[in-house]
Structure 1
Amino acid sequence: NSGVFLYSLMCVQDVTKRMSLPMDIRLPPEFLKKLQMENPPPCKPLSRMSRRASLSDIGFGKLETYVKLGKLGEGTYATVFKGRSKLTENLVALKEIRLEHEEGAPCTAIREVSLLKNLKHANIVTLHDIIHTDRCLTLVFEYLVSILEGSCLHFIFMFQLLRGLSYCHKRKILHRDLKPQNLLINDKGELKLADFGLARAKSVPTKTYSNEVVTLWYRPPDVLLGSTEYSTPLDMWGVGCILYEMAAGRPMFPGSTVKEELHLIFRLMGTPTEESWPRITANDEFKSYLFPQYRAQALINHVPRLDTEGIDLLSALLLYDTKRRISAESSLRHSYFLTLGENIHSIPDTSSLFSLREIQLQKDPGHKSSVFLPPGIQFHCFDIPHLYLQSAT
């Protein structure tokens, strides 16, 4: 019996290693029996066909491998459910795209799959499995929760958001749908970009898959005014709106129509001029709205929880001129993140920020948490009471 057990253990280790499977996978007994019949177990690399057959034998690509636990909500073009994998007993997110509905839905799904298969980064959500049936395409993701606005950890979350976005932008990939609902965190405090259904799309749609109106709150004014010259600054305006929302606990520009959205932007940031936005006075749509000439307000009065460096970064993200709007790569080097240290810029793409000894996230035994960073700066946490950052001693 011990020999059989040892052999089974070796089989599991061999298969998980050669097929890049998670270490905590629970291989089905029938699959192990099949391996035992192959004496000795094959050690040469698997062909693509053999690997696909083995994955199917284990349970990948099959709906019955996952237990659906409840609906999490509507995504940009799909319904998302909480689930559990029978292979690992871990929680997963099941994103279901009904194929018999809107004609464009499978295209956005295929786009997301093709992108995520090639994006390997600690701050981008992991796609675990794909299940294709006649009626439905199900994408199985790692399970994370939606990020909470107003958290004192906005500082560390913002760096992770920019880190994931910089990785995408270097690969000429725009997200196009950045908003708090598409930023997910796990219990380790790791933030991940999710919902790449609009990445590389030819336009920014006005309706979601479920036919609800797409929010305008994170859309830059150049796009609101009809620009179709999409480039990385499109995402950076959204980053600025998210930074404000995480720090202030409320959306920055919650407009319900294009005109209202632009009005809210101009009222706070100032009505654009030729100096702040070259050639804006020649834009017919801008001229047609006849906006009052607002002067820019001091951002510190609206988001007092941000320090001087934070306000400077926010201002650089919310510039009207797309050529001057700060990039994700430059943002990572902004003085706002100086306290995180220099080592944070040299960790591998697939490694978490928390792999660094000097940045450790720990459970707080009390329900009032604090963030401790190298120079001794201290913040107070309200929305994520079970987590705190502590510099290593």
Structure 2
Amino acid sequence: MDIRLPPEVLAKLQMNNTEDDPKPLTRISRRASLSDIGFGKLETYVKLDKLGEGTYATVFKGRSKLTENLVALKEIRLEHEEGAPCTAIREVSLLKNLKHANIVTLHDIIHTNYSLTLVFEYLDSDLKQYLDNCGSLMSMHNVKIFMFQLLRGLSYCHHRKVLHRDLKPQNLLINEKGELKLADFGLARAKSVPTKTYSNEVVTLWYRPPDVLLGSTEYSTPIDMWGVGCILYEMATGRPMFPGSTVKEELHLIFRLLGTPTEETWPGITSNNEFKAYGFPQYRAQPLKSQIPRLDSEGIDLLNSLLLYEDKKRISADEGLRHPYFKSLGERIHTLPENVSIFTFKEIQLQKDPGYRGSIFHQTGRGRNRRQSIF
């Protein structure tokens, strides 16, 4: 692909950088010089590899001619009559107001007659790929660092009354520094939890809380906290916690591990018509420690407080950040400004994962076949 600047832009740059003024262009003057391309224009970005495609949206790896930085271009076609535009507009309206080190940055929005292109910062991996790449055997120290970043981004969202509602490893993007960022806010604030994506793929049930599986539409911040618990388990064990393919199977897997709910563990459950119709056996709760031997007692306590049937009793993202599980990261980590990475502190560093197979932190050029989340 030709990523050279257009001749007229080059000429303008050369005029502004004559022998009388040999100093390199500052970022501000460079941006002024490049006003011919500028923000909000498709010409500003060069498409590189295609990262993924659905019925309504295609995601490309790209490069900005303004900054020379890599970007992810989420191109949403507008000729379809349903689905994409309202979901895209929802994502835009949310992300342009969310500025945090652990939330993917929306750099630019380009609207044409045929498409809406969202320009995001580019991250070359996600948590699913990271797990695959370390043979599903992560360092428990790294589990803690990723978990803290997830709660940090989520706490920021929840303070602004934004629910993510589609947390899963594929929607947690990771860059070469180990920074984890929440992505794909297309379902946030939607009025119902859809069962299909843009491309008619079935939405995974694995991270969905039992109250939603049983028909609850009273969504608030605890809807995300159940998914956080499932993700903590998956990082610590290398396998999904509740990989059900139907609602009934998903509930069955949950009840088999955590115990079939009772009035004591979930007040009102015995009068839920959907719950009664399934007629689940009475399972006893299994101790989670036996399922996750590598997770310490504080980590087990945090997990138990996330996976509560009664949604209002689940620990909040804010409370989670202050849980004793994170004590080893030090107190300074709680003083960081919202837009500053936790890796600013030298004592916060990722360790080599025991199942390491050549990770994003030791290998360049990964992500050529990567499918940046588009749904």
Aligned-pair identity (%): 76
Alignment partner of 1:262 out of 233, 243, 251: 251
Partner of 2:176: 187
Quote the Cα distance in structure 2 between the aligned partners of 1:110 and 1:70: 25
Does 2:41 match 1:62? yes
Partner of 1:50: none
Cα offsets for 1:229-250 (capped at 9, x unmatched)? 0000000000011111111111
Q: What amino acid is the match of 2:108?
A: D
RMSD between superposed Cα atoms in Å: 2.1
* Cα pair distance change 1:334/1:109, threshold 3 Å: same
Does 2:184 match 1:205? no
TM-score, normalised by the number of residues in structure 1: 0.81
Partner of 2:73, secondary structure, is strand
Quote the Cα distance in structure 2 between the aligned partners of 1:356 and 1:217: 34
Partner of 2:369: none
| 1:262 positional shift | 0.4
Does 2:310 match 1:330? no
| 1:360 positional shift | 4.0
Does 2:222 match 1:233? yes
User: Contact conserved, 1:76 with 1:197, CA < 8 A, in 2?
Assistant: no
Higher RCO structure, 1 or 2 (CA under 8 Å, sep 6+): 2
Partner of 1:84: 63
Q: What amino acid is the match of 1:2?
A: E
User: Contact conserved, 2:225 with 2:316, CA < 8 A, in 1?
Assistant: yes
Partner of 1:41: none
* Cα pair distance change 1:97/1:385, threshold 3 Å: closer
Partner of 1:3, secondary structure, is coil
User: Contact conserved, 1:76 with 1:195, CA < 8 A, in 2?
Assistant: no
| 1:254 positional shift | 0.7
* Cα pair distance change 1:189/1:77, threshold 3 Å: farther
Alignment partner of 2:79 out of 97, 100, 120: 100
* Cα pair distance change 1:74/1:183, threshold 3 Å: farther
Partner of 1:5: 22
* Cα pair distance change 1:100/1:88, threshold 3 Å: same
| 1:384 positional shift | 6.5
Q: What amino acid is the match of 1:293?
A: Q
Aligned residues: 335
Gaps of 5+ in 1: 16-25, 35-53, 362-368, 371-378, 389-393
Q: What amino acid is the match of 1:261?
A: E
Quote the Cα distance in structure 1 between the aligned partners of 2:357 and 2:226: 24
User: Contact conserved, 1:208 with 1:214, CA < 8 A, in 2?
Assistant: yes
Alignment partner of 1:382 out of 341, 344, 356: 356
* Cα pair distance change 1:194/1:386, threshold 3 Å: closer
Quote the Cα distance in structure 1 between the aligned partners of 2:251 and 2:45: 44
Does 2:92 match 1:113? yes
Partner of 2:311, secondary structure, is coil
Does 2:131 match 1:131? no
Does 2:211 match 1:222? yes
Partner of 2:90, secondary structure, is helix
4+ residue segments displaced more than 4 Å? 74-77, 383-388
User: Contact conserved, 2:37 with 2:43, CA < 8 A, in 1?
Assistant: no
User: Contact conserved, 1:77 with 1:197, CA < 8 A, in 2?
Assistant: no
| 1:102 positional shift | 4.3
* Cα pair distance change 1:76/1:346, threshold 3 Å: farther
Does 2:135 match 1:146? no
Quote the Cα distance in structure 2 between the aligned partners of 1:384 and 1:172: 39
| 1:386 positional shift | 6.0
User: Contact conserved, 1:184 with 1:194, CA < 8 A, in 2?
Assistant: yes
* Cα pair distance change 1:275/1:209, threshold 3 Å: same
Alignment partner of 2:166 out of 177, 191, 196: 177
